[in-house]
Amino acid sequence: MKIENTTPHSAPPPLIQVSGTHREIGYQIGEACAAQVQHSIENAQALLKKAYDKLELTWNGAQIQTRKYMPFAQERYPQYVEELMGIAEGASVAFYDVATINAMEAVTVDALHLTKCTSFAVNESFTADGHVLIGHNEDWVPEDEADVFVIHATPDDEPPFLAMTYGGLLPNIGFNAAGIAQCCDSVYPSDCRIGLPRLIVSRAVLGAQTPAEAIRHMLVPQRAAGYNHLLAHQSGELYNVEVSARSFAILYAEDGYVGHTNHYLDFNMQAIEDEPDELVSSRVRYFRALRLLKNTTKHTIKSFQTIQRDHLNYPDSICSHAIDYPDPLDREKTINALVIDLTAGVMHLAWGNPCQNPYHTYHLDL
């Protein structure tokens, strides 16, 4: 098979060390990654321009929409609005530019159908060394691949965490010192409304001390829509928490392994799924990931990385290379792949497609 359009990255993604209040943390991120933040705003503006025929949404219109969502964030999670303000100040960009990219999935009512991630995890009964492992392929617009970085944060009022993000987006994929790990997969509920943006809800999960606290954040009232949150605890407890604006399902990994892509697994959630027949490649990736997971009970970092490089159903494979579609809204690829060893407190991350790029190791310091 010919593998095309893969950007090689010779250097690891930048590691940004931040600490203090939420405003200070945001400021430090914005200052260190000003170029990435600015670039991601330009990318979002360009994408809306290209999609104007479909969405009829200008950047100004998107900002006006974002203003309807932010009061919900301000009321429930003012500390993460502070982080957004800090990012904007540090990167010398307007607050509503940063807020708009963080509310983008909401203001476009998912018309972008952008992220098509794959997440999976196993507990101690499925690994060679008894560790808890989590894998996540982040699939997104190719233009944002340049803006990937890793945040090591020590907030004043939350457990330290290590997370991957890109551009001006709040971090939500990672793990914290309380042994909570989260990966998010887009799902497509039909009950979206104006409310709390998903990125802010999922940012809050990284501050949780216990699985129950993490799940309470996922189910916070007045949410605009929802993700699937793959939740892992260092004890080996694994969940998929499927969320929409008004409904949810908590799926527990009875057998010690779990996977998720971009369609609802729960029967009741499927009743409110928007255009389920569009989500064919999501189903193919899901079953493929599950089969590869069940192949062995002796998983290692390496066996997880092998799953992340899988090309079955190429280019809409787990290692996604789907960037040749004529409609720019359909173009996406794996912009990074990460494996979290929750027992060791380590994240291994490949920048770009993991079939062509090496993994780099990041440690959570306590």
Nearest to 114 by CA among 351, 329, 352, 281: 329
In the bound complex, what is the minimum distance in angstroms from residue 361's beta carbon to Zn ion? 21
Q: Using CB under 5 A, which residues numbered 40 to 79 contact Zn ion? A: none
Helices (H), the chain: 22-32, 34-50, 52-55, 59-76, 78-91, 95-102, 104-107, 198-205, 211-218, 267-270, 280-294, 301-308
Q: Which of 319, 340, 347, 364 is close enough to bind Zn ion by CB under 5 A?
A: 319
Closest to Zn ion by CB, 151 vs 319, is 319
Q: Which amino acid is at 42?
A: E
> Measured from the CB of residue 314, what is the shortest distance to Zn ion in angstroms?
8
Tokens of 147: 């803006």
User: At its nearest, how many Å lie between Zn ion and the CB of residue 8?
Assistant: 12
CB atoms within 10 A of CB 206: 27
Nearer to Zn ion, 233 or 333 (CB): 333
Contact segment (CB under 5 A) with Zn ion among 213-221, 289-297, 312-320, 358-366 equals: 312-320
Residue 115 contacts Zn ion per CB under 5 A: no
Please identify, among the stretches 42-50, 205-213, 274-282, 311-319, the one whose residues bind Zn ion according to the rule CB under 5 A: 311-319
Q: By C-beta, is 108 or 353 nearer to Zn ion? A: 353
Residue type, 179: G
Q: Kindly state the number of chain residues that form the binding site for Zn ion, as judged by CB under 5 A.
A: 3
**Shortest distance, position 323 Cβ to Zn ion, whole Å:** 11
For residues 214 and 355, which CB has a smaller minimum distance to Zn ion in the complex? Answer: 355
Site string for Zn ion, 321-360 (x = CB under 5 A): --------------------------------x-x-----
Nearer to Zn ion, 173 or 319 (CB): 319
By DSSP bridging, strand 257-260 and strand 118-122 are: antiparallel
Q: Which residues contact 315 (CB under 8 A, 6 or more apart)?
A: 321, 322, 323, 324
- How does DSSP assign 189-244, residue by residue? BS---SSB-HHHHHHHHTT-SSHHHHHHHHT-TTBSS-EEEEEEETTS-EEEEEE-
CB of 321 to Zn ion, least distance (A): 6
Contact criterion met (CB below 8 Å) for 311 and 1: yes
Q: Which is nearer to Zn ion, 172 or 353 (CB)?
A: 353
CB of 182 to Zn ion, least distance (A): 24
Query: What's the min distance (Å) between Cβ of 317 and Zn ion?
Result: 7
Q: Is 174 helix (H, G, I), strand (E, B) or coil?
A: strand
* Ramachandran quadrant class, 108 (left: phi over 0; alpha: psi -120 to 50; beta: rest): alpha
Of 158 and 332, the one with the shorter C-beta distance to Zn ion is 332
Binding site for Zn ion (CB under 5 A): 319, 353, 355
